[in-house]
C-alpha cells in the first residue's frame, strides 16, 4: 500500500535522520542532568561537651588536636583551667588548623649533637639565670587528688609547681612583679605543656601570688 503512494518512501527517508538526531540530543540531555549532583548543605561546625575531669590538654589529646591553645583561642578562654562541665566547645576544622599553623624553627642541638626540643633548650637557659622572668599559669580542682609526675597525689592548696626540667624536690622562690607578693614552691610535677609557658603553680600558690584572676602572668623565679 505504501509503495503505491508516490514519493512517500523518499519522504520517510528524509525525515528519519532528523528523528534520530533528535532522540540522541534528548538522551544526552538526560545523561547530563543525571550526572549533576545536588549541592551539599553545609554541615554544622564540630563541637565537644566538657566532661567531668576534662582539661583542655586532655581534650586536645582525645580529639587529636596538636595545640590545646587553639581550643582556648577559638572559644575565647582566657584561663584554660576554668572550663566548666557541660560547656560546649567549638572545635577547629582541619583546614583552618592547617592554615593557621606557623612554621617552627629547627630544634637546636645539644653539645652531644642530639636534637632537643626548642622549649627545653630555652627553658634550660632561663633556669640557669637567677631571677629570670618566666610565664606562669596555675592548675587546680580539675587535677586535685590525681597523681603527679612524682607519684604523689596533687594537692591544689599545697606550695607546689610543675616544671619541665628541674629535678623533683627543687625549691624555687617566686615573686609577682605586679604586686610584690612572694611564695616558695617545690617542684613536684611536669608541665606545663602549652607553648609559651614555663611554670604551672598550684591554686594555693596562685592565690598567694595574686594571679588567680589573671590566670597567666609573668613571675620572677630564682632557686631557693
Range of the domain at 177: 118-223
Compute the distance between CA of residue 68 and CA of residue 60 in angstroms, rounded to an integer. 5
Q: Which residues on adjacent β-strands are paired with residue 3? A: none
Closest to 71 in 3D by CA, of 53, 51, 48, 52: 48
**66 and 138 in one domain?**
no
Stated pTM of the model: 0.45
Preceding peptide of 4 cis, ω within 30°: no
- Which residue among 39, 64, 99 closes a domain? 99
What CATH number corresponds to the domain at position 90? 3.10.350.10
Query: Do 159 and 81 fall within a single domain?
Result: no
Of 161, 175, 98, 74, residue with least CA distance to 131? 175
Please count the structural domains in the chain.
2
- pLDDT tens for the 224 residues of the chain, in order: 445 555 555 555 555 554 444 445 555 655 655 555 555 555 666 888 888 878 878 888 888 887 778 878 888 887 777 788 888 888 887 544 443 444 555 555 544 444 445 444 444 544 444 478 999 999 999 999 999 999 999 999 999 999 999 999 999 999 999 999 999 999 999 999 898 999 999 999 999 999 999 999 999 999 87
- State whether 133 and 78 are in the same domain: no
Amino acid at each position: 500500500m505504501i509503495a503505491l503512494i508516490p514519493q512517500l518512501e523518499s519522504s520517510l527517508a528524509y525525515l528519519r535522520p532528523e528523528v534520530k538526531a533528535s532522540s540522541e540530543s534528548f538522551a544526552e540531555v538526560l545523561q547530563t542532568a543525571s550526572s549533576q549532583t545536588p549541592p551539599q548543605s553545609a554541615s554544622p561546625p564540630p563541637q565537644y561537651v566538657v566532661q567531668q575531669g576534662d582539661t583542655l590538654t586532655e581534650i586536645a589529646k582525645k580529639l587529636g588536636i596538636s595545640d590545646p591553645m587553639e581550643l582556648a583561642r577559638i572559644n575565647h578562654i582566657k584561663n584554660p583551667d576554668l572550663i566548666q562541665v557541660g560547656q560546649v566547645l567549638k572545635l577547629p576544622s582541619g583546614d583552618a588548623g592547617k592554615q593557621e599553623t606557623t612554621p617552627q624553627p629547627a630544634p637546636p642541638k645539644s653539645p652531644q649533637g642530639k636534637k632537643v626540643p626548642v622549649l627545653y633548650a630555652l627553658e634550660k637557659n632561663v633556669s640557669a639565670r637567677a631571677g629570670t622572668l618566666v610565664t606562669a599559669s596555675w592548675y587546680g580542682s580539675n587535677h586535685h587528688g590525681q597523681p603527679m609526675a612524682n607519684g604523689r597525689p596533687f594537692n591544689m592548696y599545697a606550695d607546689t609547681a610543675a616544671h619541665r626540667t628541674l629535678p623533683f624536690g627543687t625549691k624555687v622562690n617566686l615573686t609577682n612583679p605586679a604586686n610584690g607578693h612572694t611564695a616558695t614552691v617545690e617542684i613536684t610535677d611536669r608541665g606545663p605543656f602549652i607553648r609559651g609557658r614555663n611554670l604551672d603553680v598550684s591554686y594555693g600558690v596562685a592565690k598567694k601570688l595574686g594571679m588567680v584572676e589573671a590566670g597567666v602572668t609573668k613571675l620572677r623565679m630564682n632557686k631557693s
